[in-house]
Chains A and B, each alone.
Chain A
Amino acid sequence: MRQDHLVAAGQLSRADVERVLDRAAEFDAALSAGGREALPARYPETVLALCFYEPSTRTKMSFETAMKRLGGQTVDMGGVDASSVSKGESLADTVRVIEGYADGLVLRHPREGAAKMAAEFVDAPVINAGDGAGQHPTQTLLDLYTIREAAGLDDLTIGIVGDLKYGRTVHSLATMLTEFDTRMHFVSPESLRLPRSVRFDLHEAGAELREHTDLDAVLPDLDVLYVTRIQRERFPDENEYEKVAGEFQIDAETLEAAKDDLTVMHPLPRVDEIDAGIDDTDHANYFEQAHNGVPVRMALLDLLFQNNE
Chain B
Amino acid sequence: MSDHELRVSKIRDGTVLDHLPGGSALNVLAMLDIDGSEGTGVSVAMNVPSERLGTKDVVKVEERELSQAEVDVLSLIAPRATVNIVREYEVREKKQAERPETVSGVLACPNRSCITNDEEPVETRFDVLDDGVRCGYCEEIIREGIADHLDVT
A111 touches B115 (CB 8 A): yes
**Residues on the B chain within 8 Å of A239, using CB:** none
Q: Is A196 an interface residue (CB 8 A)?
A: yes
**Residues on the B chain within 8 Å of A110, using CB:** 113
Instruction: State which of B119, B120, B121, B138 has its C-beta within 8 Å of the C-beta of A112.
Output: B138
Given the interface pairs A197-B134, A197-B141, the reply to whether A114 lies near B115 with Cβ below 8 Å is: yes
The CB with the most chain A CB atoms within 10 A, among B119, B121, B138, is that of: B138
Q: Is A237 an interface residue (CB 8 A)?
A: no
B141 touches A112 (CB 8 A): no
**Residues on the A chain within 8 Å of B118, using CB:** 90-91, 111
Cα–Cα distance between A112 and B139 once the two chains are bound (Å): 8
Going nearest first, the 10 A-B pairs with the smallest beta carbon separation are A113-B137, A112-B138, A113-B138, A111-B115, A113-B115, A197-B139, A114-B115, A132-B113, A117-B115, A196-B141
Give min CB distance, A177 to chain B, whole Å: 17
Cα–Cα distance between A69 and B114 once the two chains are bound (Å): 35
The contact string, 1 if C-beta is below 8 Å from chain A, for chain B 109-137, is 00111111111111000000000001111
**A window 79-103: CB within 8 A of B:** 88, 90-92
Given the interface pairs A91-B118, A92-B120, A117-B120, the reply to whether A112 lies near B113 with Cβ below 8 Å is: yes
**Residues on the B chain within 8 Å of A114, using CB:** 115
Given the interface pairs A90-B120, A120-B122, the reply to whether A109 lies near B115 with Cβ below 8 Å is: yes
**Residues on the A chain within 8 Å of B116, using CB:** 113, 117
B141 touches A113 (CB 8 A): no
**Residues on the B chain within 8 Å of A116, using CB:** 115, 136-137
**Residues on the A chain within 8 Å of B140, using CB:** 112, 197
Q: Is A133 an interface residue (CB 8 A)?
A: yes
Cα–Cα distance between A251 and B115 once the two chains are bound (Å): 38
Give min CB distance, A153 to chain B, whole Å: 25
Cα–Cα distance between A200 and B130 once the two chains are bound (Å): 12
Q: Is the interface of B mostly helix, strand, loop or mixed?
A: loop
Cα–Cα distance between A75 and B140 once the two chains are bound (Å): 33
The CB with the most chain B CB atoms within 10 A, among A111, A132, A236, is that of: A111
- Extra inter-chain contacts (8) besides given A112-B111, A197-B141, CB under 8 Å: A90-B118, A91-B115, A111-B114, A112-B137, A112-B139, A113-B138, A117-B122, A134-B139
Give min CB distance, A107 to chain B, whole Å: 11
Instruction: State which of B113, B117, B122 has its C-beta within 8 Å of the C-beta of A92.
Output: B122
Chain B: CB-nearest residue to A199: B141
Chain B: CB-nearest residue to A118: B115
Can you list 6 residue pairs at the A/B interface with Cβ under 8 Å? A91-B115, A92-B121, A111-B138, A113-B135, A116-B137, A117-B120
**Residues on the B chain within 8 Å of A134, using CB:** 138-139
The contact string, 1 if C-beta is below 8 Å from chain A, for chain B 92-117, is 00000000000000000001111111
Given the interface pairs A134-B139, A197-B134, the reply to whether A112 lies near B114 with Cβ below 8 Å is: yes
Give min CB distance, B115 to chain A, whole Å: 4
The contact string, 1 if C-beta is below 8 Å from chain B, for chain A 119-139, is 010000000000111100000
